[in-house]
Structure 1
Amino acid sequence: MQENINTTCHRLLKEYLNSTMIAIDGTAGNGNDTLFLCQHCHHVYAFDIQPQAKQNTLERCQEMINLTFILDSHEFIDKYVNEPIDVALFNFGYLPKADSSIITQPASSLKAIQTAYALLKPTGRLMLACYIGHAGGQEEHEQIYAWLMKNQITFTQYRTDKPLSPILYECIK
């Protein structure tokens, strides 16, 4: 059975993460990635703009004391995170099981990944999951891919062979 993009991301990160690391979840959503990062890192900063995402994440991570949740756009990471980080993870698109018209936007997403990449320590990881099967997803993916190429970011791409399947970029600084 083939892994989904989130399972692939977690598998790749599990080989890298340790309990001294600082992480950013730039798109907290329902808290799955936030919980994973909290279980493996010293501290996690999680961002989302939707109150429902905050509630879902805090419920899922209620046992975690190493979480700072920020109810604000990921484009403002630099307003809240003033320390070098080891990993930043983004799942672009919309909050599952919620209003699918509220989606991540290319301009704020690009600002967020630029800021997160600048905060990354050497050999740090930037994980970018692009969902291209929804309105706006392909355009956002194209702009993220163009940013990776323009800035000569070293990355490995993962995706299944299904049409419109999500694309994961593992970027190493």
Structure 2
Amino acid sequence: MKRDSKTRYGSISKTFHWLMAGLIGWQLFKFGDRIAEGEHWVGETLVPWHVSIGTLLLVLIVLRLAWVITQRHQRPAHDPAIARLVKAGHGLLFAGMLLMPITGMMVMLGGGHGVSAFGMELFAKSEEIAWAAAIGNLHSPLAWLLTALIIGHIGMALIHHFIRKDDTLKRML
């Protein structure tokens, strides 16, 4: 089943979710740069892909948001007592996933570095851009906030599965 239903997420929603979860997990290895100034195997093998993966995630989040909008009337319902909290939590996750690559690009453009993804130049090197650098300064704090939201998201999925014993997690598996 490709489309979502009132009881389960479809294969397209699941593919977006798990592909992006894996790529965002990869992006979180960037925190490894804070250890020994990135001079270790994580910093040398995974982190160099950070800008390319971030660019890919920007494309995926835009496509995913478009998909969510088309499926909004067919998605599984949430417990009415917590439906607003669920929507707020998911809204914050989507906002974080959208803002991370945008602010990341602002870091690069603001510093005059340009942006290349997977070997293709998207924006050429230029002079520093003060307003872009100011927006880019939000990238690191947003990374910490998004990480906290992801931990909360995973925690709630596990609570639903192991404590509430409902089908919330199974809908996305």
- Per the normalisation by structure 2, the TM-score is 0.24
Greater percentage in helix: 2
Bigger radius of gyration: 2
Greater percentage in strand: 1
